[in-house]
Amino acid sequence: MVAPLKLGIAGLGTVGAELVRLIEQRGRSLSTRCGRGVRVAAVTARSRTKKRGLDLNGVGWAKNPLALASDPGIDCFVELMGGSGEPALSAIEAALKSGKSVVTANKALIAKHGLRLANLAEKHGGALNFEAAVGAAIPVVKTLREGLAGTDVNRVYGILNGTCNYILSRMEQEGLSFAECLKDAQRLGYAEANPSFDVDGHDTAQKLAILASLAFGTKVAQSAVYVEGISSIAPEDLRAAEQLGYRVKLLGVAVRTAKGIEQRVHPTMVPKSSSIAQVMGVTNAVTIDGEGLTPITLVGPGAGGAATASAVLADIADVARGIRAKPFGRPVAKLRAIQKAPMERHEGGYYIRLMARDLAGTAAAIATRLAEQRISIESIVQRHANGVDASAVNGKPSPVPVILITYATSEDAVYRALHAVQRDKVISGRPQVIRIEKN
Amino acid sequence: MVAPLKLGIAGLGTVGAELVRLIEQRGRSLSTRCGRGVRVAAVTARSRTKKRGLDLNGVGWAKNPLALASDPGIDCFVELMGGSGEPALSAIEAALKSGKSVVTANKALIAKHGLRLANLAEKHGGALNFEAAVGAAIPVVKTLREGLAGTDVNRVYGILNGTCNYILSRMEQEGLSFAECLKDAQRLGYAEANPSFDVDGHDTAQKLAILASLAFGTKVAQSAVYVEGISSIAPEDLRAAEQLGYRVKLLGVAVRTAKGIEQRVHPTMVPKSSSIAQVMGVTNAVTIDGEGLTPITLVGPGAGGAATASAVLADIADVARGIRAKPFGRPVAKLRAIQKAPMERHEGGYYIRLMARDLAGTAAAIATRLAEQRISIESIVQRHANGVDASAVNGKPSPVPVILITYATSEDAVYRALHAVQRDKVISGRPQVIRIEKN
């Protein structure tokens, strides 16, 4: 039997502690699978004295991550500290440079420095595995890196942030506002005290950049991702979506177009019948369109200690049994620079909600402006708010919502038309625009 | 650059021909991924002269599968002939014995001879990959074999036969009978002229046996699978399911219980809100419950030339870049004999539809018989068929349906209760029983 794989784990937070427990519980099953044992040789964390309920007897303690990564007594450095920079970056570099393998759950670091690290891994022969960085226990990294090698991926999109999906699900199911649901999510521990990273779409953008690289063989380019969050979504948008046969999800979408690769994160209307529309609460999901195939969708727990630790352990098992694929599926030298498709040239259907100042003639005025931009309207609905006669409040007409669904058109045509509508002064406030993604 | 991987392909039907085309189209992308080319070196098929629209210039022709498998000019034998025995079996054995790798889409062969073949692969160092054998393009074999190495699987279940799911979906959506939908499925090419293998559940059973082995580290045991098909399902069952918040799917379920491993294929009521319930038409889906994790579901095209060929090619890519996992995730010597949980001891909820001879007292009589077996009833509904007064037809009472949902109980308790009900002569005909699977 081969010598056991000796791990050095940096970071003993929720995920790190869960990982140590999992390895203890599953030791025999793991060594059966891998043909060798997996052993925690040394660890490091900010506090050595904190109570974690772990038996670390016989496990070394490194004074810092860099020292752990450089320890000749470990074969595989497991980075669970997080953060897009130090001390994770230097520690991982040191591990890779000494020919060790690295397993990390750090999406921010992989999105920012993934190429440089993949290059080091290739050069020195170690693995660089990061299944847990995207979709936690959903095996989407492995699926794109290895499992779908037999097809050309045309599009990959998904619900990559549980916080946002939890908020949108509750808003839809209970008719609550964004602010109310956010507060609840914070109370339940689904959202951070500073929720911007999640609700403004940045977390999704980091994960999407990683998926796009794996899907298309392009260099990770987080800066090329267009990002829009969910804070502008109102309960009336979710109600309208429901009536029109859609649901609103925060999607990360990477798609091959004639103009290059679009990477975008934004609230999106998806047909209620699609697999992705069924995904409610903190669950994540990714859909992959392969050339000539009906879509493949992976659904599962996208966050949490147990889900993340299990993905980290699967990556460790691959290291132990010698499974090596290039970190981004292709050699770094063969990854192409991403040709960014400009967002204003994005083509698709749009949901538009406007507050019309007056009923008479407004729909016609709006329709005219859309027609000028050659935008075809699939449906247009004017509503009396709550059954109150629109012109009866305070003696002057109060605004009523007008909701439009367009056929596929370009983003700049939509914004040109809406600017014209605003200049016409037939609407009040800012138009709400939500892109539609067809399955 | 390493020498290209030389393939010998046996079988040039829909999948084989599609594979040859895919390799031609995706040659460059594949060699980028794998660090070496992938080349079709030789082929064999029943007819050499049949028009296939393939350019086989420069490709060798072997006189039969065994000759191809033994050809020293190939590195990897790709078996796409099908059938649980010869000539596929001997050819694969010959390939493995000479140290070649084997890729196959043959579920029947893997379900029957998988262990023996895996043993040969291990002994001689070749790969034995069969992603396409279950769920075609859905990467479920790789996910169980490698991707979920970090978790203990407690249950795996899924829609593994597109024909059955197509029939049940249409029955539900259009209120048609099984016979009508089967005829349509045959007309559209979704069902064979002899549909028994699909609609009686045998296809699902073969795939389930493979998944169970991968999930639990047990020896493939197709004979330990309990099998029931969908031909007894009536439109009224689907209507009742809809009203009760369920859908009916033909599921293959493998689950770890205190009594051993249950492997069963049968029509199943699944909660309408579950991921698996959303899967309509010919699409397949597999849900995997990992210890301490919310379920992971993979959805996608489970059949068809393009989907199958893409899975075969992904397996070939793994061979080319040297990714080797044990065929069933663990060494054959470590696979445990399956301890079969007897079906009569299965525990779960049940849907029961009876035709009551008379309204008055029947529900009470049935409830009493269930109570004798300590079965708790979640709901019981008696219906007047089509609004006609039950007692008005021909002067004597005509039977009306009574529909019951039970809480979790054991299979033998249900059957003991139903035999007692039949002896009471308060019902006519055979009771319909459908198991409920909770998510």
Tens digit of each residue's pLDDT (9 = 90 or more) over B155-188: 999 999 999 999 999 999 999 999 999 999 999 9
Report the pLDDT value the prediction gives residue A50, as an integer from 0 to 100.
Answer: 92
Give percent of chain A above pLDDT 90. 86
Distance CA A278, CA A270 (A): 10
The partner residue sitting opposite A323, judged by closest CB among B143, B275, B323, is B323
Residue A22 or residue B387, greater confidence: A22
Report the pLDDT value the prediction gives residue B364, as an integer from 0 to 100.
Answer: 86
pLDDT at A392 over 60: no
Mean pLDDT along residues B188-195: 88
Report the pLDDT value the prediction gives residue B390, as an integer from 0 to 100.
Answer: 44
Mean pLDDT along residues B297-326: 96
pLDDT at B428 over 50: yes
The partner residue sitting opposite A323, judged by closest CB among B26, B34, B325, is B325
Report the pLDDT value the prediction gives residue A114, as an integer from 0 to 100.
Answer: 97
Indicate yes or no: CB of A296 within 8 angstroms of CB of B138.
yes
Distance CA A277, CA A287 (A): 11
Report the pLDDT value the prediction gives residue A154, as an integer from 0 to 100.
Answer: 97
**Closest-approach residue (CA) in chain A for B138:** A296
Per-residue pLDDT reduced to its tens digit, B245-269: 999 999 999 999 999 999 999 999 9
Chain A CB contacts of B313 under 8 Å are: 149-151
Indicate yes or no: CB of A296 within 8 angstroms of CB of B329.
no
State pTM to two decimals: 0.94
Mean pLDDT along residues A297-314: 95
* Chain B contact present for A300, CB below 8 A: yes
Interface subset of B 312-341, CB within 8 angstroms of A:
312-318, 321-326, 329-331, 334
Kindly report whether the peptide bond that precedes residue B87 is cis, defined as omega within 30 degrees of 0: yes
Q: Which of A44-53, A385-394, B10-19, B367-376 has the lowest mean pLDDT?
A: A385-394
Per-residue pLDDT reduced to its tens digit, A16-52: 999 999 999 999 999 999 999 999 999 999 999 999 9
Per-residue pLDDT reduced to its tens digit, A199-245: 999 999 999 999 999 999 999 999 999 999 999 999 999 999 999 99
Indicate yes or no: CB of A26 within 8 angstroms of CB of B138.
no
Estimate the crossing angle of helix A27-34 against helix A14-25, to 10 degrees.
80
Contact A92, A82 (CB under 8 A): no
Mean pLDDT along residues A401-409: 94
Per-residue pLDDT reduced to its tens digit, A232-286: 999 999 999 999 999 999 999 999 999 999 999 999 999 998 889 999 999 999 9
Per-residue pLDDT reduced to its tens digit, B395-418: 566 788 899 999 999 999 999 999
Report the pLDDT value the prediction gives residue A394, as an integer from 0 to 100.
Answer: 56
Q: What is the DSSP annotation of B299-332?
A: EEE-SSHHHHHHHHHHHHHHHHTT----TTSS-G
pLDDT at B391 over 60: no
Q: By C-alpha distance, which of B97, B101, B99 is closest to B76?
A: B101
Mean pLDDT along residues B268-290: 94
* SS3 assignment for chain A: CCCCEEEEEECCCHHHHHHHHHHHHCHHHHHHHHCCCEEEEEEECCCCCCCCCCCCCCCEECCCHHHHHHCCCCCEEEECCCCCCCCHHHHHHHHHHCCCEEEECCHHHHHHHHHHHHHHHHHHCCCEECHHHCCCCCCHHHHHHHHCCCCCEEEEEEECCHHHHHHHHHHHHHCCCHHHHHHHHHHCCCCCCCCHHHHCCHHHHHHHHHHHHHHHCECCCHHHCEECCCCCCCHHHHHHHHHHCEEEEEEEEEEEECCEEEEEEEEEEEECCCCHHHCCCCEEEEEEEECCCCCEEEEEECCCHHHHHHHHHHHHHHHHCCCCCCCCCCCHHHCECCCECCHHHCEEEEEEEEEECCCCCHHHHHHHHHHHCCCCEEEEEECCHHHCCHHHHHHCCCCEEEEEEECCEEHHHHHHHHHHHHHCCCEEEEEEEEEECCC
Residue type, A143: T
Chain A CB contacts of B139 under 8 Å are: 139, 142-143, 147-148, 296
**pLDDT averaged over every residue in chain A:** 93
Interface subset of B 246-265, CB within 8 angstroms of A:
none
Name the pLDDT band for A397 (thresholds 50, 70, 90).
Answer: low
Active site residue B6: no
Indicate yes or no: CB of A313 within 8 angstroms of CB of B152.
no
Indicate yes or no: CB of B139 within 8 angstroms of CB of A329.
no
Domain architecture of chain B: domains with CATH:
5-137+307-334 (3.40.50.720), 141-300 (3.30.360.10), 344-436 (3.30.70.260)
Interface contacts (A, B; CB < 8 Å): 176
Per-residue pLDDT reduced to its tens digit, A341-360: 999 999 999 999 999 887 67
Mean pLDDT along residues B149-160: 96
Kindly report whether the peptide bond that precedes residue A401 is cis, defined as omega within 30 degrees of 0: no
* Chain B contact present for A105, CB below 8 A: no
Mean pLDDT along residues A370-391: 76
Q: A47 CB contacts (<8 Å, ≥6 apart)?
A: none
* Chain B contact present for A244, CB below 8 A: no
User: In DSSP terms, which residues pair with B256 in a beta bridge?
Assistant: B261
pLDDT at B68 over 60: yes
Estimate the crossing angle of helix B14-25 against helix B305-320, to 10 degrees.
60
Q: Choosing from B6, B100, B207, B249, which is the catalytic residue?
A: B207
pLDDT at A295 over 60: yes
pLDDT at B1 over 90: no
Interface subset of A 34-53, CB within 8 angstroms of B:
34-35
Indicate yes or no: CB of A139 within 8 angstroms of CB of B137.
no
Mean pLDDT along residues B379-402: 65
pLDDT at B388 over 90: no
The CA distance from A389 to the nearest CA of chain B, in Å, is 38
Mean pLDDT along residues A54-81: 96
Phi, psi dihedrals of residue A209, rounded to the nearest 5°: -60, -40
Angle at B396 between CA B391 and CA B399, to 5 degrees: 60
DSSP state of B136: T
**Closest-approach residue (CA) in chain B for A149:** B314
Report the pLDDT value the prediction gives residue A398, as an integer from 0 to 100.
Answer: 76
Q: Choosing from A6, A112, A207, A249, which is the catalytic residue?
A: A207
The CA distance from A416 to the nearest CA of chain B, in Å, is 39
The CA distance from B323 to the nearest CA of chain A, in Å, is 5
pLDDT at A1 over 80: no
pLDDT at A391 over 60: no
Q: By C-alpha distance, which of B323, B303, B289 is closest to B134?
A: B303
Per-residue pLDDT reduced to its tens digit, B217-232: 999 999 999 999 999 9
Report the pLDDT value the prediction gives residue A339, as an integer from 0 to 100.
Answer: 87
Report the pLDDT value the prediction gives residue A298, as an integer from 0 to 100.
Answer: 97
Q: How buried is residue A404: exposed, middle or buried, by Cβ count under 10 Å (0-12/13-18/19+)? A: buried
* Chain B contact present for A14, CB below 8 A: no
* Chain A contact present for B306, CB below 8 A: yes
Mean pLDDT along residues B357-374: 87
Report the pLDDT value the prediction gives residue B181, as an integer from 0 to 100.
Answer: 96
Chain B CB contacts of A303 under 8 Å are: none
**pLDDT averaged over every residue in chain B:** 93
Per-residue pLDDT reduced to its tens digit, B87-132: 999 999 999 999 999 999 999 999 999 999 999 999 999 999 999 9
Give percent of chain A above pLDDT 70. 96
Chain B CB contacts of A318 under 8 Å are: 146, 149
Chain B CB contacts of A278 under 8 Å are: 275, 278
pLDDT at A12 over 50: yes
Chain A CB contacts of B309 under 8 Å are: 150
Name the pLDDT band for B339 (thresholds 50, 70, 90).
Answer: confident
Distance CA B368, CA B421 (A): 9
Report the pLDDT value the prediction gives residue B148, as an integer from 0 to 100.
Answer: 94
